[in-house]
Structure 1
């Protein structure tokens, strides 16, 4: 029981950090944060993603490129130019590392206006920090796993952040239905989308990239949007007018 609770807590906290902070804030600036909350959610993103922490700068650059070149050869992670999801993930990893450490330079249209905290990035992305998080996951499983099959969940913890991105980019551009003709292959993958906190409404999102609500039809539900509204009412964030 403890293992399942721990797995689900890590899955959804990491996923929330990715959709709330890396995607909707760092990449699209769908809302604003003051300096205190920007740093608070920066730390939250680090601890929720743990060993698979993703640098907001590198994430934002690649996501903006994804929108600009959706499903073309310049798209960093279109599933239509790779034989399988593993090749797509490997290519994404190489570009991400380049932008994160500065060996790759993006065009100016894709840079700027994202949160940066070099010290946290250095610590969170270090090999030692990632290993320590990994050892923490392993220790928890050793103490609380009650069956051998539970250990099959353990590797997912190590790659949680990139795994979420791979699911969204692969499934969201291959499987499902389209509400809009975006001149690409973006899809809405429902009802699996609910398990991805709205991230699989890719067709809707590519049509309205700055809208904080990814759901557009009456039967679609973006579970993160009500949270954004509450945070807005609490004056923790300020939603942009779209």
Structure 2
């Protein structure tokens, strides 16, 4: 039971750091926050992602490219040029690392207006940090796992961020229904979206990229949006639009 609780908590806390901070804030600037809260959620994203830490600058640039070039050859993570999800993940990893390490020239329209904390990045993106988190996950399993097969969940903890991104970008552009016609293949995957906190409403999101509520129909629900409304009400953030 402890392993299951840990896996679920890690999944949703990491996912919240990704969808709330990296996606809706760093990439889209759907709301503003002061420097204290910006640094707080920057560290929050690092701690919850742990061994699979994603740099805010590289994430924001890749996601902006994804919107601009959705489902074309220039899209860093479209499923429509790959036979299976693992090849897509490796391609995304290469583009991410090229952007992260300044090995490619990035269009200036993508390379701006995102949070940057070099000291935090230097620590969070180090092997020392990644291996420390991996060791903590292993230690937790060693103490609380009651069956050998529970250790099979460890790779999910190790690669939490990339796994979540791969599910969203593969499923969100291949399976489901569309509320809006667009030039890409973005789709909504209603029944599974509770597992991704709104991220699988890809068609809705591609239709209105700056809209903080990824749900568009009465029967759709974006679990992250009520949290955003709460944070806006108590002053942690300021929504650009409601």
Q: What TM-score do you get using the length of structure 1 for normalisation?
A: 0.99
How far apart, in 2, do the equivalents of 1:8 and 1:165 lie?
17
Q: Deviations over 1:103-157 (max 9, x none)?
A: 2221011111000011111111111110111010000000000112211111111
Residue equivalent to 2:96: 96
1:2-61 deviations in whole A, cap 9, x for unaligned? 111111110000000000000000000000010000000000000000000000000000
Unaligned runs of 5+ in 2: none
Aligned residue runs from structure 1 range 52-91, under 5 A: 52-91=52-91
Q: CA RMSD in A?
A: 0.7
Distance 1:73 1:161 in 2: 23
Three-state SS of the structure 1 residue aligned to 2:217 is coil
CA distance in 2, matches of 1:127, 1:34: 30
CA separation in 1, counterparts of 2:235 and 2:121?
27
Matches within 5 A, 1:214-225: 214-225=214-225
Aligned residues: 242
State whether structure 2 residue 112 is matched by structure 1 residue 112: yes
Rounded Cα–Cα distance in structure 2 between residues aligned with 1:217 and 1:75: 27
Q: Which runs of 4+ in 1 moved over 6 A?
A: none
Instruction: Supply the distance in 2 between the matched residues of 1:28 and 1:61 (Cα, whole angstroms).
Output: 10
Deviations along 1:130-189, one digit per CA (max 9) or x if unpaired, are 011101000000000011221111111110001100000000000000000011100001
In structure 1, runs of 5+ residues without a counterpart are none
1:184-238 deviation digits (Å, cap 9, x = unpaired): 1000011101110000000000000000000000100000000000000000000
Query: Normalising to structure 2: TM-score of the pair?
Result: 0.99
Residue in structure 2 matched with residue 240 of structure 1 by the alignment: 240
* Cα distance in 2 for residues equivalent to 1:105 and 1:222: 35
Distance 1:168 1:113 in 2: 24
